[in-house]
Amino acid sequence: MIWIDGKKIALLDFLAESGHIGDYGLATFYSNGKIHQPSGIEDGVSLNYTHWSAETAWNPFAYTYIGVALTPSMFAIGWFMKTRVAFLVNLGTLVGWFFLVPLVVYFNFPIYDATQQANIPIQDYAAGGSASLQMIAFSKSVRTIAIGSIVGGGMFGLAKMWKTFVNIFADIGSAFKGDGSQEYMEGKGWYEWPLKHIPIFMGITFLAMIGIFTVGGFSVLASLVFATVLISHHIPARGNCSPCHG
């Protein structure tokens, strides 16, 4: 980061903005740490997005946003996930930006506007100025589809794990009865959390979550629901913990 004319800017962004002739320059392809689709520049500063209008409707980039970036956290996550898992995770991104977002903009899909309490055709947002319709399409429409996909996939995954949940609740029943388990293995250390601790931590967590959510401004009923969901979701199962060594 460097200071130029009273503003803080990344060195590579400064170099990209400095190298331009008129409306042509490196900043049209690079800005804010991303190599992206050509968007044009104004006074050397990238416009970031290709804005849709009746005059630019012929431009395929006006219907989506394509960019490539790499941060240390992205590199670290990708390193551990490896190629196959990383590709599967990014399939949602590819479907969203290469298929769903262009369709929403192209077909002038109606977007619900809470300020007007009405559904507004998305291209109407471009009439009042240079709105980035692809970003509106992503945040107002595609993100909803993504949430539904995650919820549906999660419920399907839970249904497939019914045998695991049967074992979990059997363990909980044993814990409340006072039964023990093989928590310690000779030569390996503590293999799993002691069963007798499960009811204790369930109670502590349940009451703590109700208190935390209530202090945070939620109603007591909502806090009770949140705490119940949390306890149901994070009940430990026997045999699923990695061995711990001192």
**pLDDT tens readout for residues 164-173:** 767 766 666 6
Residue 244 has a pLDDT of 43
Residue 178 has a pLDDT of 57
CA–CA separation, 40 and 23 (whole Å): 7
Q: What region does 66 belong to: left with phi over 0, alpha with psi -120 to 50, or beta? A: beta
pTM: 0.61
Residue 240 has a pLDDT of 45
Residue 98 has a pLDDT of 93
Residue 239 has a pLDDT of 43
Q: What is the pLDDT along the chain (246 residues), one digit of tens a residue?
A: 777 777 777 778 777 777 777 677 788 888 888 888 988 887 777 888 888 888 888 999 999 999 988 888 888 888 888 888 888 888 888 999 999 999 999 999 998 888 888 888 999 888 766 578 999 999 888 988 888 888 888 888 888 887 776 776 666 666 566 555 555 566 666 556 666 677 788 889 899 989 999 998 899 899 998 888 887 765 544 444 444 433
CA–CA separation, 81 and 144 (whole Å): 26
Angle, helix 143-160 to helix 162-177, in steps of 10 degrees: 60
CA–CA separation, 172 and 197 (whole Å): 10
